[in-house]
Structure 1
């Protein structure tokens, strides 16, 4: 089911200038970053890049979803970490991205950690938004 306008609780606003070789900033001033392509893609690597920003957002969102799942299941995930690795490369129609989510949950066994990651992947808004569009792998770290 799609979200309806009346259900929106918060709207983030960011503006980019000069695309992948410029600047991106949020309207509230909390983020104001120089954006440059990474050296591997012919850029200077002097600033951040869209893939890093996407990885940061996905990792934070997924960690939040993991917390929701853990609370619902009454599982302690103290000290857990979620890392999102976002790769970019050429595909048939330009460029595409892939994501690898790695979850470290030191308070549970590997099987439980894997189950929690799978459930978090079902409720995470980033996972929902990208499902069927990009490859996302889940790994217990």
Structure 2
């Protein structure tokens, strides 16, 4: 697996589970996409630029899958996910020498959980999520778990 030396493009997403259909969405001039997952959960891909890049779309699809896997991982560990849990993903396209590569960085927000429990759930979600499994060993994926 090759590490990116120079980032050329980045796509960022912030995904939350929205249980309130009246909740404030993104500002004017941005695209809000409601994503769905098996089981009928709605996920919000909020405030993307008006013309999302391939990196943003990939990050958005990955984040919808991953946040669903996060819920499954938590339920397997008999842990209730806290209100306000969220996933931020940045997908980078970059170069190392003449080669082009993808990389990803996750920030998983699980406020109020013990750090070790939150990290275990976040790592387990990568074992469940089909997107994570598809890129495993192919691209560098950094994981930051925030519990504060």
TM-score range, shorter chain: 0.5 to 0.7
Q: Which has the higher contact order (CA 8 A, sep 6+)?
A: 2
Structure ranking higher in helix proportion: 1
SS at match of 1:64: helix
Quote the offset at 1:109 in angstroms.
Answer: 1.3
- TM-superposition CA deviations, 1:94-134 (whole Å, max 9, x none): 42110111111113111111111111111110110001110
Secondary structure in 1 aligned to 2:116?
helix
* TM-score, normalised relative to structure 1: 0.64
Contact conserved, 1:82 with 1:103, CA < 8 A, in 2? yes
Aligned with 1:47 (options 47, 51, 55): 51
Residue in 1 aligned with 2:69?
A: 65
TM-score norm. by structure 2 comes to 0.61
1:136 corresponds to:
141
Runs of 4+ in 1 over 4 A off after TM superposition: none
Query: Once the 2 structures are TM-superposed, how far is the Cα of residue 84 of structure 1 from its aligned partner?
Result: 0.9
Task: Note closer, same or farther for the CA distance 1:93–1:125 as it changes in structure 2 (3 Å cut).
Answer: farther
SS class of match (1:48)? coil
Q: Is the 8 A contact 1:76 1:107 kept in 2?
A: no
Tell me if the contact between 1:101 and 1:137 (Cα under 8 Å) persists in the aligned partners. yes
Q: Which residue of 2 aligns with 1:112?
A: 117
Does the residue aligned with 2:141 lie in a helix, a strand or coil? strand
Q: Structure 2 CA distance, aligned partners of 1:98 and 1:75?
A: 30
Separation in 1, partners of 2:78, 2:50: 44
Task: Give the unaligned 5+ runs of structure 1.
Answer: 1-29, 32-44
What is the number of equivalent residue pairs in this alignment?
99
User: How far apart are 1:78 and its partner, in Å?
Assistant: 2.8
Q: Residue 133 of structure 1: SS of its match in structure 2?
A: coil
Q: State the SS of the aligned residue for 2:117.
A: helix
Runs of at least 5 residues in structure 2 that lack an aligned partner in the other structure: 1-33, 36-48
Are the aligned partners of 1:89 and 1:95 in contact in 2 as well (CA < 8 Å)?
yes
- What root-mean-square deviation, in Å, do the aligned CA atoms of Structure 1 and Structure 2 show? 2.1
Flag the structure with larger Rg. 1
> Whose strand proportion is higher, 1 or 2?
2
